[in-house]
Structure 1
Amino acid sequence: MKVVEKQIEVRYAETDQMGVVYHANYLVWMEVGRTELIKQLGFHYADMEKEGIISPVVDLQVSYKKPLHYGETATVRTWIESYDGIRVTYGYEILTPDGEIAVTGKSQHVCVKRDTFRPIVIRKYFPDWHEAYERAKK
């Protein structure tokens, strides 16, 4: 299984009054990790959008374990948890500077036509992505 890591420096604007990362910012970091994974597989989500295909989140699970604080560097680990040719579930771990798990999560996505919101079969529309996802999930 291919796992991609991306470093994120915690900015002041991402924290609450206690100096702890505000919970919704982890979702943004998951998107950063997902984008990096797709990039390392050789693709760009923007290219899919140019073809009239979007990939909305249909399910999201997040579990908060330890806080991250302003000035620390988080490591976002991202991988393909499951893929069936229509749905993709990405897995995430966000680590503290000491390598402890701060957050775990999963997000499930389905590719749809932008104008009709009907799901597509990725293998048919984007065979190169399909092959890359099949290889990366193993």
Structure 2
Amino acid sequence: MMITTSEVKVRYAETDQMGVVYHANYFVWFEIGRTEFIEDLGFRYHEMEERGVLSPLVDADIQFKKPLRYGQTATVKTWLKEYDGLKVTYGYEILTPEGETAVTGSTKHVCVKKESFKPISIRKAFPDWHEAYLKAKGDE
């Protein structure tokens, strides 16, 4: 199974009145990890968009374990949790500088035609991505 690791320096603007990372920012960090994961596979999301395809979020899950604070560096681990040729679920673990789990979660996406939002098969529309996903998941 392929795991991509990204680092994010916690900025002051990402913290709340308690001095910890505001919960919504973790979803932005998930996107950073997901984008880097896709790039590590050799693809660019904007290339999919240029072909008239979008990949909206259809479900998200997050669990908070330990706080992260301004000035710390968070490590975002991203992997392919589930893939069936149509839906893609990415898994995430965000670590503190000490290597402890701060957050875990997942996001589920489906590819759709931009003009109609009708779902499409990744397997059929993007066979190279399909093969890369199977390989990254360890199903090849």
Q: Which TM-score band applies after superposition, normalised by the shorter structure?
A: over 0.9
1:103 maps to what in 2? 103
Please report how far the alpha carbon of residue 85 of structure 1 lies from its aligned counterpart in structure 2 after TM superposition: 0.3
TM-score (normalizing by structure 1): 0.99
State the AA in 2 paired with 1:48.
Answer: M
Stretches of structure 1 that go unaligned for 5 or more consecutive residues are none
1:48 maps to what in 2? 48
1:38 maps to what in 2? 38
CA distance in 2, matches of 1:6, 1:28: 12
Q: Is residue 2:110 matched to residue 1:128?
A: no
Stretches of 4+ aligned residues off by more than 4 angstroms: none
Kindly report which structure 2 residues correspond to 1:60-75, keeping only aligned pairs within 5 A, or say none. 60-75=60-75
TM-score (normalizing by structure 2): 0.97
- State the percentage of identical aligned residues: 64
* Aligned residue-pair number: 138
CA distance in 1, matches of 2:51, 2:13: 35
Q: For the aligned residues, what is the CA RMSD?
A: 0.5
1:12 maps to what in 2? 12
Stretches of structure 2 that go unaligned for 5 or more consecutive residues are none
Give 3-state SS (helix, strand or coil) of 1:20's partner.
Answer: coil
Give 3-state SS (helix, strand or coil) of 2:70's partner.
Answer: coil
The Cα offsets for residues 57-81 of structure 1, whole Å up to 9 and x where unpaired, read as 1110000000000000000000000
CA distance in 2, matches of 1:103, 1:55: 24
